[in-house]
């Protein structure tokens, strides 16, 4: 049985989880929160980082400097319309996003949210495991593999699952530490 597809799906799930976590606002300025914010640039929805320089000069500040000054207002509107929860400060040349200090309560809420995301990622991993085992059982039923090979396949798929869940737990622990220590 080929385990590469199962491994690939599990790795994809982990990468999606990591991507979601990078968009969680942890009190520290992270340009990744702008990834989903798009502006209307000559009729095309365009990510901010493709029309402006995005920098983090200090821990709680993101500076957006558009290459074309005529889109400054568009960028400001897009940020206001997005759900990142930060009001842009436009001085006519650049837009500054100042991140407020997180309260202890907000940190705990964020940790709850990232734990929920981790659990959702683990559910996806377990679903992939179940599908893989079902596929192996079907192969055994069709006579393509023996009962011993089925047991071996189940063990291999379980090992991949355990490794993936462990990886998610590691990513979760790092993010939790980051959120609580900012």
Domains annotated on the chain, with CATH: 4-22+103-181 (1.10.132.20), 31-98 (3.30.1360.40)
Q: How far is CA 154 from CA 49, 99, 132, in A?
A: 45, 48, 8
Return the pLDDT at 129: 93
**Which helix H or strand E contains 47, and what residues bound it?**
strand 44-47
The beta-strand segments (E) located in 70-180 are: 88-90, 95-98
Return the pLDDT at 124: 93
What's the rounded Cα separation, in Å, for the pair 33 and 56?
12
Both structure tokens of 71? 């889109």
Return the pLDDT at 146: 86
What's the rounded Cα separation, in Å, for the pair 136 and 129?
11
Per-10-residue mean pLDDT of the chain, 182 residues long, equals 85 88 69 79 81 82 85 83 78 82 79 89 93 90 87 91 93 84 66
């Amino acid at each position: 049985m080929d385990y590469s597809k199962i491994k690939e799906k599990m790795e994809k799930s982990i990468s999606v989880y990591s991507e979601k976590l990078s968009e969680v606002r942890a009190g520290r300025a992270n340009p990744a929160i702008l990834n989903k914010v798009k502006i209307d640039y000559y009729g095309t929805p365009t990510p901010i980082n493709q029309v402006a320089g995005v920098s983090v000069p200090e821990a709680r500040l993101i500076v957006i400097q558009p290459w074309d000054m005529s889109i400054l207002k568009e960028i400001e509107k897009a940020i206001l319309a997005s759900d990142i929860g930060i009001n842009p400060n436009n001085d006519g040349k650049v837009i500054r996003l100042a991140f407020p200090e997180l309260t202890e309560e907000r940190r705990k809420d964020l940790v709850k949210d990232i734990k929920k995301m981790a659990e959702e990622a683990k559910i996806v991993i377990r679903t992939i495991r179940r599908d893989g085992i079902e596929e192996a059982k079907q192969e055994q039923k069709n006579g393509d593999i023996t009962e011993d090979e089925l047991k071996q396949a189940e063990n291999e798929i379980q090992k991949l699952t355990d490794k993936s869940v462990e990886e998610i737990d590691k990513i979760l622990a790092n993010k939790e530490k980051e959120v609580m220590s900012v």
